[in-house]
Amino acid sequence: MARFVVYYLCMYSPRFTITSQINSAIAEIERLRVAIEHSRILPTKEVVLRRRAAIEATRSSTGIEGNPLSEQEVELVLSGQTISASERFITEVVNYKKALSHIEKRSKDATSLTAKDILTLHRMLMKDLLPKTKSGAFRKTPIYIVDIIGGKDIVRYQGPEPDTMMGLVDDFLGWLREETHDLHPLLVAGILHYEFVSIHPFSDGNGRITRLLTLVYLYQHGYAFRKVFVPESYYFADTKRYYQALGQASDYAHQHAADMTPWLSYFIEGLRAVVNDVSEKITRASWSGSQRGVLTLSEEDYRIIDFIAAVGTTMVNEIVSAVKVPKRTLQRRLSRLVRAGILMRTGRGPSTQYKLKNNRS
């Protein structure tokens, strides 16, 4: 007898209960968000905090998937230095940081996520890690998550059939676009995380892309926490608990239909813990003096700084190509950043070079 598998008949409809614990954690996050957004931080300190957060996010998210590089090694790789490690592990780190930079730009566009966005992001993540036919393409084969217990392969989770990928993703993106207006954005972010990783639409890289898509949604809805926010660190600190919270069933049909309240409780509590950590870092970096003469950094400034931090030392023409800022505008911004003590300038004329000032305080 033929077997027919149908996972979507109508718009996605998640099952969960908003508990008093979840409500309390959301209220605390909102209180901290206001305080963080209104804190005054010296630009030199905020640059350092954002740079450390990008390194920590890269190390945590790749580490969850088994990448063994330490935070120090990740920092060296992202600074363009050579380390003794597997080329695959180095590539995973480089790709993740590029994808992280990409989502920061994408999140400035308020339009809803599309399948094209997802495929583009996957192609960035898996460049030189998967064959080109699998990078940036939904899987065409079954997928199983397997644990080895007592020398035997035990299937922990079986994803949905490959021919349902496009339908499942489109259905969920439709729900995300049309049916979330009455839900708190933090809950929607948690649902996105749960459902997307449950669909497991790619042959590899599902966890990493899920965490990045969750960040895009949070950033788009005003929960960027000055880009010092690293929810991946909470999952990485206890990966067993992370996977237990996500894994409500051993196959997609039951996972899709399960009550996700336990996962949302874990997810929201994790955000609360991470945001509290951000608040403490911001408090230590804050200042209470007069704002007169203190440089305020724009997102364009941060893109310039991030590029220079990534390449180490660079010249004006290279920065122009990377960040797409007119040369005259860029030169003015670079001069301001040098005067503020954020960048160092060496040389003169066409040979002038810029690098990030070594400031870890």
pLDDT per residue as tens digits for the range 253-269: 999 999 999 999 999 99
Q: What is the DSSP letter of 142?
A: -
Distance of alpha carbon 197 from alpha carbon 247, whole angstroms:
10
Nearest Cα residue to 217 out of 254, 172, 261 = 172
Distance of alpha carbon 288 from alpha carbon 210, whole angstroms:
39
Of the residues 102, 200, 221, 254, only one is catalytic, namely 200
Q: Which two tokens stand for residue 145?
A: 């998550």
Confidence at residue 288, expressed as pLDDT on a 0 to 100 scale: 53
Distance of alpha carbon 244 from alpha carbon 193, whole angstroms:
14
Distance of alpha carbon 153 from alpha carbon 145, whole angstroms:
10
- Helices of type H across the chain: 20-38, 43-64, 71-78, 87-106, 115-125, 165-178, 185-199, 206-220, 231-237, 239-246, 252-257, 261-285, 299-311, 316-323, 327-339
**What domains appear along the chain, each with residue ranges and CATH number?**
20-285 (1.10.3290.10), 299-356 (1.10.10.10)
Does 210 belong to an annotated binding site? yes
Decide if 324 contacts 78 (C-beta within 8 A). no
**Reported confidence tier of residue 6, pLDDT bands at 50, 70, 90:** very low
* pTM for the structure as a whole: 0.84
Does 348 belong to an annotated binding site? no
Nearest Cα residue to 77 out of 65, 92, 99 = 92
Does 206 belong to an annotated binding site? yes
Residue 220 to residues 17, 184, 186, 250, 291: CA-CA distances in angstroms? 25, 13, 11, 32, 28
Tell me the CB-side half-sphere exposure of residue 223, using CA atoms within 13 A: 24
pLDDT tens digits, 66-112 = 999 999 999 999 988 899 999 999 999 999 999 999 998 899 898 99
Statement: residue 10 has pLDDT above 60: no
Confidence at residue 360, expressed as pLDDT on a 0 to 100 scale: 46
Distance of alpha carbon 241 from alpha carbon 91, whole angstroms:
27
Does the annotation count 122 as an active-site position? no
Confidence at residue 7, expressed as pLDDT on a 0 to 100 scale: 45
Confidence at residue 5, expressed as pLDDT on a 0 to 100 scale: 44
Does 163 belong to an annotated binding site? no
Tracing tokens 């206001």 back to the chain, one arrives at: 34
pLDDT tens digits, 232-290 = 999 999 999 999 999 989 999 999 999 999 999 999 999 999 999 999 999 888 765 54
Decide if 80 contacts 311 (C-beta within 8 A). yes
Confidence at residue 361, expressed as pLDDT on a 0 to 100 scale: 40
Does 243 belong to an annotated binding site? yes
